[in-house]
Amino acid sequence: MKRKYVAEPYRIKMVEPIRVTTKAERIKLLKNAGYNPFSLRSEDVYIDLLTDSGTGAMSQDQWAAMMIGDEAYAGSKSFYRLEGVVKNITGYEYFIPVHQGRGAEKVFLPQLVTHEGMYYISNLHFDTTRAHVELAGARAIDCVVEDCYDIDHYHAFKGNFCIEKLEKAIAEKGKENIAGIIMTITNNSAGGQPVSMANMRKVKEIADKNGIMIIIDGARYAENAFFVKEREEGYQDMDIIDIARETFSYADAFLMSAKKDGLVNMGGIIAIKNNEHLYNLCRTFVVPYEGFPTYGGMNGRDMDALAVGLMEALDENYLRHRIDQVRFLGDKLRDAGVPIQYPVGGHAVFVDCKSFAPHIPYDQFPALSVTNAIYLEAGVRAVEIGSLLLGRDPDTKKNLESRMELMRLTIPRRLYTYDHLDVVAEAVIHVYEHRNELKGYEFQYESPILRHFTSTFKPL
């Protein structure tokens, strides 16, 4: 009988024991954490799907590469090895390492904000990107396709820019007030949804016509390239690396949290196509924010691990299994009637908590309620992607209502087995069957910036 899903393209060489807690223990642990899953200790989590950022397993070749790491403060050999790989993949002239994606945003985004009243336009800004846009003195505008919000509807590229929204935003705000266009691939807040090459090409035409820079927020660019190969006509016979290279040709800069498709636990990238002035500005600011430009917040050994990981993440066998694991969990939930963003994206299953718990209003955070319930049920940690994450209007300070209230079940790379995902599915299905018992939450302490990370709550 033919397998429906793809077996692991690796063998397990080392194991880490994980602790199983009782429900009585988890009730106390969650209360002590202020009902915020971020504040749980990892040792108190059975299956950790909080994030795929830096949580995956590195390969034997990456661990071997760490042994030759050059820890020189300036001019490290590890830097030049990593620089060669980044230039090979992107075709860009300039590269600066940073400690993670937030470091890249902190250094890069303010350089394009040259006066008051400026905007960044994205298909959908993720939380840290939106925060750094606002910290830079600009405002964020989202222009994702409307299909993104139709959870049950199949659309091969729900992460796409809506071209009409994009052109309207540029016309209304004025092209001189657009700091840049951020192309998020895959589109995390949309449900890990991919962006088509045709859409990127059209956005590039619009940007060039208006003299606006395009920045790829490409933490998961390799996964996006796999979806293009799988779903977009004309790409089925292309290698993943060549699809990635075409992707980068439609942008002017590339910011990356390498903790995702770099397959490392820490690291980030700023790559600039050919703008020497912008490169020099970023080099200037990377020194006080991150470190000397040839290490930028990274150890030499981590740069060598990243140089290997970037190439491993472009392996089609790895990507097929990676995305298949996400599909496996999504199919389990959808078959049981649990509402999810369909089709599933590249790194996570996004559960539609607006449909899951319609009796909980947006400002009582239905996705947080569902997230906490699955921890109590099975020790599974997930994360809210909804009105809690969206935060407050930066000007009026009013709670913003997200168009989607999602719980993200984020699959770390090369870490868990299909059996682990079975446990996750059973927990979510059980909570769904008892969804009418769920209650909302209110703040006990609200952090003023990126509040979902450090705020505390109490159940209503």
Active-site annotation, residues: 73, 126-127, 217, 219, 260, 452
Q: Is there a contact between 221 and 247 (Cβ–Cβ < 8 Å)?
A: yes
Residue with tokens 């319930």: 373
Distances (CA, A) of 86 to 93, 216, 271: 9, 14, 8
Q: Is there a contact between 203 and 166 (Cβ–Cβ < 8 Å)?
A: yes
Where b means 16+ CB within 10 Å and e means fewer, 113-149 reads beeeebbbbbbbbbbbbbbbbbebebbbbbbbbebbe
Amino acid at 438: L
Task: Work out the angle at residue 26's Cα, subtended by the Cα atoms of residues 21 and 27, and round it to the nearest 5 degrees.
Answer: 150
Kindly give, in sequence order, each residue whose CB lies less than 8 Å from that of residue 280, ignoring residues fewer than 6 positions away. Answer: none
Structure tokens at 20: 């199983």
Distances (CA, A) of 447 to 7, 9, 31, 169, 429: 43, 42, 18, 30, 32
